[in-house]
Amino acid sequence: MCAIVGVFGNSAAARVAYYSLFAMQHRGQEATGISSSNGEHIKKVKKRGLVTEVFDEATLSKLEGDNAIGHNRYSTAGSESILDAQPIYASYKLGEISVVHNGNLVNKNEVRNALIEEGAIFQSSMDTENLIHLIARSHKGTLQERIIESLDVVKGAYCFCIQSRTKMFAIRDKYGVRPFSLGKLPDGGYIVASETCAFDLVGAEFIRDIRPGEMIVFEKGNSEYKSIQLFEPDPHICAFEYIYFARPDSDIEGKNVYATRKEMGKSLAKECQVDADLVIPVPDSGISAALGYAEQSGIPFEMGIVRNHYVGRTFIEPTQERRDMKVKLKLSPIRSLLKGKKIVVIDDSIVRGTTAKRIVRILKEAGASEVHMRIASPTIEHPCKYGIDTPSYRELISANKSVKEIREYIEADSLSFLSVEALKTSLGSERNYSLVSFDGNYFIK
C-alpha cells in the first residue's frame, strides 16, 4: 500500500514531492525516496526511514529540476533491504529511467524467472524491477512504445510513475485497484499522487482521477499532458482504501473517505446493536466509523483511548513482535471515563487478532465492566494479492476461527462484524469494488 507521487513542470518539483510524501506517510513507513531530473541527468535519494528523517534542506537542494517522482515504501513484495526501496533507477540504451510503483504484480515470479533465463541480473527482490528489465530489453524505438509493450506482459494491481530525463508517465492498471489522482499546481505544472490529501498540502487543484487503464504523458516543452487509454477499463477500486488505508480527508473516485467510514459505522449500528453506556473508537482508524455508530445508535461517543501519535501504524509493521510492542506503546485508556461502564469499541478491521486482544485487555484493566467489539468491515478470510500485507491464510484469524472463537480469543463480551452487503451499501452501488479479502474473488488472473 505504498504512496507514490509525480511532479512535472514545476521548478520546485522535488520539494513538492517531499511535501506530498509527508502527507502520505501513513501509506508506508519503512523507506522513502525521490528522484529528480534537470533535463540532462536523473539524481536520486532513497533511504530507510520516515520522510522527515531522510530528507533535509541540503538533500533537497541537490535534487534539481522540474521533473520528480517519489515513493513511501510499505513492503508487500520484496525484503526490507535498502535495495528494495524506490525509486528504482537504471541507465539503458535510450538514456536514464526511474520508476515508482504502488500495488502488486501477480505474475511477478513467472516474468522474473523468464527474464533470468534470458540473462537478466536483478538487484532487488521487488516485482517493480521486472518492468525496468522489460523496458530495457524491448526493441521499440521510443520509451513510450517500450512501456506499452512491457505493460502487456505484467499483470496485477499497479500505479506507476515512470521518469525519463525529459518525460514522465503516470499509469494505472485497467482495474483501478489502487487510487491515483491528477492535479494542477498553483505555480505551474502538474502533480499525480496516490491520495488527494497530498494535493491539499501543496495547494494543488484536483483535476480528476486517472482512469483505470489510462496512461498520462508529460513532456518537456508541452504545457498540456497527453492521455492514452491503454486498456479497456474494468474498475474494481479496493474497498480497503476506504476501510483503512487512505487518510480520512482524501477523496477516492469521488467519495470522501471520512464520510464513507462514517456511513459504515451507521450500517454497523443498524446490524449489530448492543446495550452500552459509551461508544469509543480505536484511534485513529476507528474514529469515523465510531462517530457514525454513535449517531445511529444514540449511545454517547467518547475518546476513551488516547493514542500516542509518535508511534506509527501497527498493521503495516513487518513483524508480529514489532506490531505487539507498538500496540502497547501507542494506546492508553482513560480510566476515570471507562470505570464501571459498558463499552462498545469500534475498529475498522481485525486481521490477525492480536491488536484487538490487547485493546480489550487494556479496557478491562481500566475498569470497563463490559467490552463489546464492533468491526466496521466484514471478516477478512482471504489473503489479498493486490497490495495488502496479508500473504497467507495462516495469518488471518477469520480464515481459521469462527466469530465465536475470535470473540473468545480476544476476550470480548461480544463481537460483530459488518456484513458484506452492508459494506457494499455504504460504499455505494454505482461501481464494482475489490472485495477479495472478504469474498475471495481474485478477479485478476
Strands of the 226-229 sheet, one edge to the other: 88-92, 95-105, 156-163, 167-172, 214-219, 226-229
| Overall size of the chain counted in residues | 445
SS3 396: coil
Instruction: Identify the sign of the CA torsion 435, 440, 441, 443.
Output: positive
CA gap 142, 416 in Å, rounded: 55
* 8-state DSSP, 245: I
Q: What are phi and psi of 255, to 5 degrees?
A: -115, 130
The catalytically annotated residue of 2, 159, 197, 272 is: 2
Tell me whether residue 135 is exposed, middle or buried, using C-beta atoms within 10 angstroms of its C-beta: 0 to 12, 13 to 18, 19 or more.
Answer: buried
Q: What is the dihedral of CA 199, 207, 68, 144, to 10 degrees?
A: 150
Active site residue 384: no
CA gap 283, 355 in Å, rounded: 12
Q: What are phi and psi of 11, to 5 degrees?
A: -65, -20
For the chain, the first-to-last Cα distance in angstroms comes to 20
Long-range contacts of 117-126 (CB under 8 A, 24+ apart): 123/83, 124/78, 124/81, 124/83, 124/84, 124/88, 125/77, 125/78, 125/79, 125/81, 125/83, 125/84, 126/77, 126/78, 126/84, 126/86, 126/88, 126/101
Grid coordinates of 432: 464494482
Residue with cell 508529460: 218
CA gap 361, 145 in Å, rounded: 57
DSSP string, 172-195: E-TT--S--EEEE-TTS-EEEESS
* 8-state DSSP, 84: G
CA gap 295, 268 in Å, rounded: 11
- Strands 226-229 and 305-307 come out as unpaired
Yes or no: say if 362 and 338 are a contact pair by the CB < 8 Å rule: no
Q: Which residues are catalytic?
A: 2
